[in-house]
Amino acid sequence: MVSAVYIIIAALAAAFILGFLKEQWRGLAYVITLAALAFMSWVSAGWVWALGWQGAEAVDILTAGTEPPFAINLRMGLPEAVLTLLVNLTGLLSALYLKEVLFRLGRRSLVVLLIAIMALSGIILTRDIFNLFVFFELVVISTGGLILLSDDVQSNSRALSAGFKYLIASQIISVLLLVGIIFAYHATGTLNIDGMAGADLMALQGGVIAFFLMFIAIVAELKPFPANGWALDIYESAHPAFSAIFSAATGAAALYAVDKLLLIGGVSWLPVATAIGIVTFVVSNTLALSQSNDRRLLGYSSIAQIGLVFTVLGQRDILGDDYYYIAFGVLIAHAVGKAGLYWLSGLVAGRGLTDWSALRGHPLLIFAFLTFVFLLVGLPPFPGFYAKWELARYLAAEGRLALLALILFGALIEAGYLFRWFGYIIKRERPAQGVVSDPLKQVVIFAAVVAGWAMAFLWGELSGRANLLLALPLLFALAFLLLEWLPAWFKNIVAISGLVGYFAMTYTEYDPLRLIFIIIFTLGGALTLLASFHTSGKRIGFYPGAMLMYAGLVMLIRATDSFDFFAAWELLTIGSYFLILRGKHSEPHALSYAIFSLAGAFSILAGFALAADGAVHFTIQSLSEVATPLAPWVFILLAVGFMTKTAAIGLHIWLPGAHAEAETDVSPMVSGILLKAGLYGLMMLMLGMGIQELHGIKLNYVMLWIGALSALLGNLMAIFEEDAKRLLAYSSIGQMGYALFGLALMNHLGWLMALMFVINHYIYKSMLFMSVGGVAKRTGTRDMYRMGGLITLMPLSFIAVMIGIIAVSGVPPLSGFGGRWIFYNAIMSSEYRLPMLIIFLSVPVAFLYLFRLIHTIFLGQLKDEHRRIKEAPFWLILPQMIYVACLLVFALVPGIALRHVDRYLNDFFPNGGLGWDGLLITSQYGYWSPINIMIIIGVIFMLLFFWLLFVNRKAQKVKQFNIVFSAERPYRPETTHFAWNFFAPYRKALGFMVQPFVTLFWNTITDFLHAAANLVRRLYTGNGQTYAYHLLLFVVVVFFVRMGV
């Protein structure tokens, strides 16, 4: 292998040669620079290959041919190789990116660039402390030079002032560092880091202060929270390509320098590192919330990410051999993501976050943006995800829960503002100036994207678990990215056949409980996708999102290990987020959905980490073996996570907006199918952990109350809704409340009822959403009081809605009654009484909003503008009719689905099963024979109907205004259709129960965060001197905190 020192030699040689070239031979100079950078990258890549795969040993390069204390030595181990590769590659790509700027400024800027990259590689390689100082100063000087590349140097002095502030800060840092070095040398007698580490500097006289000065100087390079005003100004004003180098390369080099220093400092300094790191991570992320300039936001985000890596460095004592896997996972994800975003910001003209909506015309660039956001937030399948999982596992094992909570909180905020930004891109109206279409810059960006996905694959391989990228469902979903150019109907066929094929391939492997869920997710999904034929064009972004959700759902069912379960959970969350975001006004709702779901996912992550207690592979089944002191907390964390997905009361405010604003064929998917993932999670949890107790309170009793309250309040809120889809959304909250109640009963019939609700809710909710979507598509509005009298124009939709509401309200002939019957038998045999009372109130309440739905849309007075509307599109009607058939079949023969599950549940809840003999279903208390009921009601109904038809065979068909109107002539259809504020008396009586307290609660939290961010960011006044004060103050404070306390 080529010796590592050639990296530095190549850079210096190239810089030297450039000196000889004529001023106007710019092309040649540029080529030489690129060649040098390429060579340096090739050398470090060679070392990465040798050390990583060939199994070679770390090599020490003795520069002066003698042992360290008397000469500087460089070391090339695996970490150094990876980091130098990262630095050199970033340098090369940025050089490519800066082509025309470098051409304009000539060869002097090329030299400065080469020196900068060489200095960064030097920082990583050198093992000598003074040499480290020299390389740091080289970085300072070259950074000072590179900042001036920024294009707005001519226009205003922002870049200049940022550079000057940086130099002020670096002066202070160099003073501290030099004093620290000399005293450390004086104490230990050597300048070599390994030598100092061996000499146990702490014990020597004055050693602690010396180390502190060195340590705090290098940490100041990492831009810690109070002392990073100068860094933000650089990020905001410098050329984006330089900011990419500054955040990815300089950040990585400085981090590794601190890591080397910590070898000297020993374990006692790790808590200080963790404290500084976590404060920087959380506070910088919070401050990023209130940013509107894109580069300054990226600056805050990069400071936060470096803070996170610094926290990981601070945890090196407990992370053991996974230390590099986690640290590099987070670092590389940050580097690639941040560099990519900076390069992307070079293409966008406007600097506001909403100006990025110019990207909308370029799907590839949006895919790039998404890849970088995924890298930063740490979503599967990217390295950050694996790193976060392992980190959580170690932290939970060590009991450092506060730290874990802070990390997850910071990650949640970061996800929040990045997804908010993505929402702006997709939804805000596009600015006049389009995207700069410079092919070279786009090549650089896509290089970063490819690097991101390569790292994802690599981290999957290294993780020792099933590599996510090799999971068949995920691959199938990602394949749709390649099919984006095809027409929508073709992709729809591929998607449906994929789902059905997957079911046909694997349906034998599931037990009855999972079989029901798999049928709903795959066959049900295929059925819902039928409705997607009604659209035209390419529908860019719909199928990858949808298939990602279905992939997540399917992998969730098949997951046995907690890691796969969690990965599937996050995949389905992201997939459904993309689906919801497609709605016209769905941006804020999709964002709140994403944040709630991610918060839920993080609580699940914490729950699994806590339960695993250090074990690398923790299966779902082994939830039952969790030790008693931890078990209730694990139960709570996991239950909260799953309940955010089933929108239990308190965590439900995202659901109405998300389901109502989604597209016509997305609402059924998100509402009918996605909510079941939460229920499946709860089932696995309760099957595993059974009834838990915390301080004497049974946790499933608490869930009973939550389920009951969700049922009641969900239904009550649905009554007073004017928007049809929001009404259905609130009703979903109510239905999920029922299912949660059934599960929490923890007896045989309770679970059977929950499953009955799972099936019923899927069928009728998808059907109702489709029919309401079809009506909204035809009438152009979702407000119910604007519709009316559509029964003659949209008869099939009417039939679907009527069958739907009969099923939902639980009136006998249809399957809803089955759910209620099992519910009654379940509560008969359970010993809880009070929560049931709330359920009893919510049973009839469901009746009200269902009637309101059908009355205001289909019956009553037909408005003028709706006189010529056609029936809903065929492809929306077909699935509805299939659902009607399903409902009737399920009403007649519930046994086909429930019988097997009933027997399967016997081994969890032995007593209380149902008897399935012939047509009659008997339980311990009562009996129910669906077929007889249907026949009897049918016969009576038909008899009376034909009798009435016979008697009224000569009836005169009249129109809408031939009504008894107290002998007056009705004025207009709008004034005679009673639909607005339909249940006014009910609101007078029970209105107090639907005041939006929960929304108020969550709004105050977010407002508090924004206010705090707005307040704290005032700290950066923009004055270089104040930044110097901050730096010194930071040094003094850390000193006293470390020494004094």
Partner 1 sequence: MIAQLAMATGFALILIGFYGALTNRNILRMIVAFSVANTGVHLVLVAVGYMNGRTAPILDSAVSATEAVTRIIDPVPQALVLTAIVIGMGVTALMLAFAYKLYEKKRSLDIGKFTELRW
Partner 2 sequence: MEFEWIKIPYSLLTLFIVVNYGLLMTAFIAKIAARVGRRHGIPIYQNYIDLIKNYGLRSSITHGVMFYLGPVFRLSGGVGLLLFVPSIYGSEMFSNLSFAGDLILALYFIFFGTLGMALGAAESGSPHSAIGITRGLSQVTAAELPMALAVFSVALQYETLSITEIVAAQQGSVLNWTLFTNPLAVVAAMMAFLGSMMRPPFDVVLAPQEIPIGPPTEYHSSYLALMQTNRVIFPVAKVVIYTNLFFGGATNWPIFFLKVFLIYMVSAFVGVAFPRFRVEQSIRWFLIWAMPLGILAILLV
Partner 3 sequence: MKEELEKRIVKGPDGIEFEVEPLRDYYCEAAPTVMPQAYSKIIEGFFNWARAESLWILGFGTGCGAIEMRPLMTPRFDAYRYGVQWRPTPRQSNLFIISGYLSVKTLKRAIRSYEQMQNPKYVIGLGSCTINGGMYWDSYNTIKCLDDYLPVDLYIAGCMPRPEALLAGFEELKKLIRAGKAEGANQYAENFEWYKANQKKVILDWDMPDYNW
Report the residue number, 481 or 828, with the smaller CB distance to partner 2: 828
The tokens for 689 are: 């952990």
869 binds, among partner 1, partner 2, partner 3, none (CB under 5 to 8 A by kind): partner 3
442 binds, among partner 3, partner 2, partner 1, none (CB under 5 to 8 A by kind): none
321 binds, among partner 3, partner 2, partner 1, none (CB under 5 to 8 A by kind): none
User: Phi and psi dihedrals of 1004, rounded to 5?
Assistant: -60, -35
Residue 237 binds partner 1 (CB under 8 A): yes
Q: From 531, 478, 816, 501, select the one nearest 671 (Cα to Cα).
A: 531
Residue 951 binds partner 3 (CB under 8 A): no
Residue 912 binds partner 2 (CB under 8 A): no
DSSP 3-state of 282: helix
* CA distances, 1016 to each of 233, 385, 873, 1021 (Å): 16, 30, 54, 11
Report the residue number, 28 or 71, with the smaller CB distance to partner 1: 71
Diameter of the chain measured on Cα atoms: 116
Residue 164 binds partner 1 (CB under 8 A): yes
* CA distances, 539 to each of 492, 542, 548, 581, 670 (Å): 10, 6, 15, 13, 17
Report the residue number, 41 or 771, with the smaller CB distance to partner 3: 771
Asked if residue 201 lies in contact with residue 210, where contact means CB atoms within 8 angstroms, the answer is: yes
DSSP string, 443-493: HHHHHHHHHHHHHHHHHHHHTTS--GGG-HHHHHHHHHHHGGGS-HHHHHH
> How would you class 181 by CB atoms within 10 Å of its CB: exposed for 0-12, middle for 13-18, buried for 19 or more?
buried
The tokens for 658 are: 């998300």
**Burial 302-330, CB ≥16 within 10 A → b, else e:** bbbbbbbbbbbbbbbeebeebbbbbbbbb
Residue 695 binds partner 2 (CB under 8 A): no
Q: Using the rule CB under 8 A, give the single segment among 347-355, 454-462, 535-543, 932-940 that binds partner 2.
A: 932-940
Rounded distance, CA 199 to CA 186, Å? Answer: 12
Residue 939 binds partner 1 (CB under 8 A): no
Could you say which residues in the range 979-1038 bind partner 2, by CB under 8 A? 979, 982-986, 988-990
- The one among 490, 945, 971, 1040 contacting partner 2 by CB under 8 A: 945
- The one among 582, 778, 782, 977 contacting partner 3 by CB under 8 A: 778
DSSP string, 600-661: HHHHHHHHHHHHHTT-SS-BSGGGGG--TTTHHHHHHHHHHHHHHHTT-TTS-THHHHHHHH
DSSP string, 219-246: HHHT--STT-HHHHHHHHHS-HHHHHII
Report the residue number, 433 or 1025, with the smaller CB distance to partner 1: 1025
- The one among 34, 56, 78, 168 contacting partner 1 by CB under 8 A: 168
Could you say which residues in the range 495-534 bind partner 3, by CB under 8 A? none
Could you say which residues in the range 205-224 bind partner 1, by CB under 8 A? none
Site string for partner 1, 1026-1045 (x = CB under 8 A): --xx--x-------------
Could you say which residues in the range 765-794 bind partner 2, by CB under 8 A? 789, 791-792
Q: Nearest distance from residue 443's CB to partner 1, in Å?
A: 31
1021 binds, among partner 2, partner 1, partner 3, none (CB under 5 to 8 A by kind): partner 1
Residue 381: cis peptide before it, omega within 30 degrees of 0: yes
Q: Which residues contact 554 (CB under 8 A, 6 or more apart)?
A: 473, 502, 518, 521, 522, 568
Residues near partner 2 (CB under 8 A), total: 78
Distance from the Cα of residue 133 to its chain's centroid: 40
Could you say which residues in the range 857-876 bind partner 3, by CB under 8 A? 864-870
User: Phi and psi dihedrals of 185, rounded to 5?
Assistant: -60, -45
937 binds, among partner 2, partner 1, partner 3, none (CB under 5 to 8 A by kind): partner 2
Report the residue number, 178 or 687, with the smaller CB distance to partner 1: 178
The tokens for 948 are: 């009435």
DSSP 3-state of 783: strand
The tokens for 98 are: 């800066």
DSSP 3-state of 60: strand
- The one among 50, 134, 523, 859 contacting partner 2 by CB under 8 A: 859
Neighbours of 793 (CB within 10 A): 19
Report the residue number, 97 or 183, with the smaller CB distance to partner 1: 183
Site string for partner 1, 836-875 (x = CB under 8 A): ----------------------------------------
Rounded distance, CA 891 to CA 814, Å? Answer: 5
Residue 240 binds partner 1 (CB under 8 A): no
Report the residue number, 30 or 928, with the smaller CB distance to partner 2: 928
Site string for partner 1, 798-837 (x = CB under 8 A): ----------------------------------------
Asked if residue 841 lies in contact with residue 848, where contact means CB atoms within 8 angstroms, the answer is: no
Could you say which residues in the range 809-848 bind partner 2, by CB under 8 A? 809-813, 817, 820-821, 824-825, 827-828, 833-834, 836-837, 840-841, 843-845, 847-848
Q: Nearest distance from residue 186's CB to partner 1, in Å?
A: 5
Residue 236 binds partner 1 (CB under 8 A): yes
Neighbours of 661 (CB within 10 A): 25
User: Phi and psi dihedrals of 315, rounded to 5?
Assistant: -100, 15
Residue 965 binds partner 2 (CB under 8 A): yes
Residues near partner 3 (CB under 8 A), total: 26
Q: Nearest distance from residue 291's CB to partner 1, in Å?
A: 8
Helix axis angle for 207-221 and 129-147, nearest 10°, is 30
**Which sign does the torsion angle of CA 359, 362, 367, 371 carry?**
negative
Rounded distance, CA 337 to CA 301, Å? Answer: 11
Could you say which residues in the range 102-161 bind partner 1, by CB under 8 A? 130, 134, 137, 140-141, 144-145, 156-158, 160-161
Residue 971 binds partner 3 (CB under 8 A): yes
Could you say which residues in the range 780-799 bind partner 3, by CB under 8 A? 780-781
Q: From 692, 803, 691, select the one nearest 750 (Cα to Cα).
A: 691
Q: Nearest distance from residue 745's CB to partner 2, in Å?
A: 14
Report the residue number, 868 or 1018, with the smaller CB distance to partner 1: 1018
Q: Nearest distance from residue 144's CB to partner 1, in Å?
A: 5
Residue 84 binds partner 2 (CB under 8 A): no
Report the residue number, 508 or 956, with the smaller CB distance to partner 3: 956
Asked if residue 81 lies in contact with residue 140, where contact means CB atoms within 8 angstroms, the answer is: no
Q: From 312, 308, 301, select the one nearest 262 (Cα to Cα).
A: 312
Report the residue number, 57 or 968, with the smaller CB distance to partner 3: 968
- The one among 870, 957, 969, 1018 contacting partner 2 by CB under 8 A: 957
Report the residue number, 867 or 903, with the smaller CB distance to partner 3: 867
Residue 932 binds partner 1 (CB under 8 A): no
778 binds, among partner 3, partner 2, partner 1, none (CB under 5 to 8 A by kind): partner 3
- The one among 232, 272, 348, 768 contacting partner 1 by CB under 8 A: 232
DSSP string, 323-376: HHHHHHHHHHHHHHHHHHHHHHHHH-S--BGGGGGGGGG-HHHHHHHHHHHHHH
Q: Which residues bind partner 3 (CB under 8 A)?
A: 778-781, 864-870, 956-962, 964, 967-973
Q: Which residues bind partner 1 (CB under 8 A)?
A: 130, 134, 137, 140-141, 144-145, 156-158, 160-164, 167-168, 170-172, 174-175, 178-179, 181-183, 185-186, 191, 232-233, 236-237, 1017-1018, 1020-1025, 1028-1029, 1032
